[in-house]
């Protein structure tokens, strides 16, 4: 059976057609996410939901035509961010993305809105989390009067494709908003009310892979998982034995755990079908390497008047000299828990301040940050890991970065044979919802890998 998966990314929107019998992608289409809105303040990161829906609809129409019958559509997308919708299911606000930093603004003395809401609720919350953004908007009169509900962008796109008026949300996306009871897999309604936030604005809770409606052509649409969980579903064969390193716009490291366990410094996220994913997330990820590329490009332009067309290719071919390495902290955008942290370059000598050492140091810094999260995971979780899966374009197209990951973690990197893992995971979610697989663990068996050496 053929299923369409849509991934609403921060910079692009992708769709795939997955054949669940062969595990092959029959078609894919990626379009730019040109929905960014002009920011009046440096901390704003907002997108136009209507434009995102239009792009997603265009992708669905383009993919569903040539392949014949489509059994279902799954949607995933960037987590944490929210938008407001009215009683007719139409957006009455921008999408406040996960990168929006209004929750990090100071509300009183040195306390940020994220700090204040954390104090009121007892939950550890960070700027970019949906409830933190909503808390700021509420305190500053920025919740539209016509608001009937709030939801994530993936929930919104699914609702619009399915011609519904009220959004639905699964536990994986719900948890990303904050103030979520991970043990019982539900919003903590009593705590939400105690913080004087309205529970009637919450989307309808449903299990992952629930049919929420159908398109005009009668194609079933299923509830959206978060993009982190969808990326794991679309990239691992055996989630219980896999460590997943994802480097793209941001960076994430994830491992499955059977039971709830609070781990300081890590997010614990529900996994579809049972258990949890322990996640360490960096804000920079691949953007750190892009920062270095922009630096080299500006140097070339200012000193020579032009820059090579593909600087990344040159950077990846630079050989590290024998001099001692640079120590580079690539937390240039801070962390979720402390946005004020900034990156550093230390250990500079007369012999190692070179382009090759900068490249090597940036790559190592990106991976070291993820490794610091891995070392926070319980020993039992680390012992169960025997497969290292690399996902995201940062690893897929950079052999040198894969080598650094292999050196740090001591395992060979396995790359999914197909691109766009999150969209594939969304398609698998629809397939499980349709009954093609008994559960999400069984669905992973159709995923195929290739070794990182086979670039």
Q: What pLDDT is recorded for position 321?
A: 63
CA distances to 98, 228, 284, 385 from 382, in Å: 29, 19, 24, 5
Work out the number of other CB atoms within 10 angstroms of the CB of residue 302.
Answer: 9
In a domain, 378, yes or no: no
Q: What's the chain's average pLDDT? A: 94
By DSSP bridging, strand 106-108 and strand 111-112 are antiparallel
pLDDT in tens, 8-39: 999 999 999 999 999 999 999 999 999 999 99
The closest alpha carbon to 120, from 175, 66, 197, belongs to 197
Q: Angle at CA 63, nearest 5°, toward 57 and 66?
A: 135
Q: Which whole number is the average pLDDT over 336-363? A: 92
Q: What pLDDT is recorded for position 320?
A: 67
Pairwise CA distance, residues 130 & 151, whole Å: 8
Beta-carbon contacts of 398 under 8 Å, excluding residues fewer than 6 positions away, are 289, 312, 316
Pairwise CA distance, residues 358 & 316, whole Å: 11
In a domain, 324, yes or no: no
Q: Which whole number is the average pLDDT over 412-434? A: 94
Higher pLDDT: 64 or 223? It is 223
Three-class DSSP category at 311 = helix
Buried b / exposed e along 149-161 (16+ C-beta atoms within 10 A): bbbbbbbbbbbbb
Domain that holds residue 72: 2-227
In a domain, 237, yes or no: no
As beta bridge partners, residue 84 has 150
In a domain, 404, yes or no: no
Report the run of H or E that residue 278 belongs to, with start and end. Answer: strand 276-282
As beta bridge partners, residue 32 has 12
CA distances to 67, 69, 389 from 19, in Å: 10, 11, 22
Residue tagged 């580079």 (tokens): 328
pLDDT in tens, 203-230: 999 999 999 999 999 999 999 999 989 9
Cα-flanking dihedrals φ and ψ of residue 426, to 5°? Answer: -65, -40
Do 91 and 49 contact (CB within 8 A), yes or no? yes
Pairwise CA distance, residues 45 & 51, whole Å: 15
In a domain, 23, yes or no: yes
Given pLDDT bands bounded at 50, 70 and 90, which one contains residue 267? confident
Task: List the end-to-end C-alpha distance of the chain, in Å, as a whole number.
Answer: 30
Given pLDDT bands bounded at 50, 70 and 90, which one contains residue 452? low
Percent of the chain at pLDDT exceeding 90:
85
Answer yes or no: is pLDDT of 454 > 60: no
The upper half-sphere exposure of residue 229, i.e. CA atoms within 13 Å in the direction of its Cβ, equals 32
Q: Which of 157-166, 228-237, 337-346, 387-396 has the highest mean pLDDT?
A: 157-166
In a domain, 387, yes or no: no
Sign of CA dihedral 189, 283, 444, 52: positive
Pairwise CA distance, residues 320 & 360, whole Å: 7
Pairwise CA distance, residues 440 & 172, whole Å: 14
Q: Angle at CA 172, nearest 5°, toward 246 and 288?
A: 25
In a domain, 392, yes or no: no
Tell me which DSSP letter residue 91 carries. Answer: B
Q: What pLDDT is recorded for position 131?
A: 98
Q: What pLDDT is recorded for position 241?
A: 96
Percent of the chain at pLDDT exceeding 70:
98
Three-class DSSP category at 401 = helix
Q: Which whole number is the average pLDDT over 53-58? A: 98
Given pLDDT bands bounded at 50, 70 and 90, which one contains residue 455? very low
Report the run of H or E that residue 214 belongs to, with start and end. Answer: strand 211-214
Do 252 and 274 contact (CB within 8 A), yes or no? no
Our count of domains for the chain comes to 1
In a domain, 261, yes or no: no
The closest alpha carbon to 158, from 214, 231, 104, belongs to 214
Torsion of CA 36, 157, 423, 57, to 10 degrees: -90
Report the run of H or E that residue 432 belongs to, with start and end. Answer: helix 421-434
Pairwise CA distance, residues 243 & 253, whole Å: 7
What's the CATH number where 83 sits? Answer: 3.30.420.40
Alpha helices in 65-177 (DSSP H): 113-121, 130-139, 153-161, 171-177
By DSSP bridging, strand 220-222 and strand 72-77 are parallel
Q: Which of 46-60, 254-268, 305-319 has the highest mean pLDDT?
A: 46-60
Higher pLDDT: 283 or 275? It is 275
pLDDT in tens, 112-155: 999 999 999 999 999 999 999 999 999 999 999 999 999 999 99
Given pLDDT bands bounded at 50, 70 and 90, which one contains residue 397? confident
Tell me which DSSP letter residue 82 carries. Answer: B
């Amino acid at each position: 059976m053929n299923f369409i998966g849509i991934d609403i990314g921060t910079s692009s929107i992708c769709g795939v057609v997955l054949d669940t019998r062969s595990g092959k992608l029959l078609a894919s289409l990626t379009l730019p996410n040109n929905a960014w809105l002009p920011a009046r303040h440096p901390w704003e990161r907002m997108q136009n939901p209507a434009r995102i829906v239009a792009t997603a609809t265009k992708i669905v129409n383009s993919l569903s035509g040539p392949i014949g019958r489509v059994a279902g559509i799954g949607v995933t997308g960037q987590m944490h961010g929210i938008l407001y919708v009215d009683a007719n299911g139409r957006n009455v606000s921008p999408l406040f993305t996960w990168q929006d930093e209004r929750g990090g603004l100071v509300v009183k003395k040195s306390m940020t809105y994220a700090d204040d809401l954390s104090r009121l609720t007892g939950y550890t919350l960070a700027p970019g989390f949906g409830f933190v953004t909503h808390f700021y908007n509420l305190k500053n009169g920025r919740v539209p009067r016509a608001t009937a509900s709030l939801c994530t962008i993936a929930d919104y796109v699914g609702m619009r494709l399915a011609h519904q008026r009220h959004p639905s949300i699964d536990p994986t996306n719900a948890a990303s908003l904050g103030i979520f009871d991970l043990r019982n897999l539900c919003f903590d309604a009593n705590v939400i009310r105690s913080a004087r936030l309205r529970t009637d604005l919450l989307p309808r809770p449903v299990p992952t892979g629930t049919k929420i409606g159908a398109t005009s052509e009668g194609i079933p649409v299923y509830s959206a998982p978060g993009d982190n969980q969808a990326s794991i579903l679309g990239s691992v064969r055996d989630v219980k034995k896999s460590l997943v390193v994802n480097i793209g716009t941001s960076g994430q490291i994830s491992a499955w755990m059977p039971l709830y366990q609070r781990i300081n410094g890590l997010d614990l996220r529900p996994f579809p079908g049972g258990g949890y994913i322990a996640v360490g997330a960096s804000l920079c990820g691949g953007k750190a390497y892009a920062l270095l590329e922009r630096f080299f490009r500006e140097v070339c332009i200012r000193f020579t008047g032009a820059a090579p067309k593909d600087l990344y290719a040159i950077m990846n071919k630079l050989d590290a000299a024998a001099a001692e390495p640079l120590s580079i902290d690539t937390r240039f955008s801070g962390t979720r828990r402390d946005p004020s942290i900034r990156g550093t370059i230390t250990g500079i000598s007369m012999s190692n301040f070179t382009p090759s050492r900068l490249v090597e140091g940036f790559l190592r810094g990106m991976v070291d940050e993820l490794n610091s999260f891995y070392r926070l995971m319980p020993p039992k979780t680390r012992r169960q890991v025997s497969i290292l899966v690399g996902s995201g374009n940062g690893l897929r197209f950079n052999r040198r970065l894969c080598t650094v990951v292999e050196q740090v973690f001591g395992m060979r990197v396995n790359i999914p044979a197909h691109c766009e893992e999150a969209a594939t995971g969304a398609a698998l979610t629809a397939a499980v919802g349709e009954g093609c697989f008994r559960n999400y663990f069984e669905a992973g068996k159709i995923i195929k890998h290739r070794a990182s050496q086979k670039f």
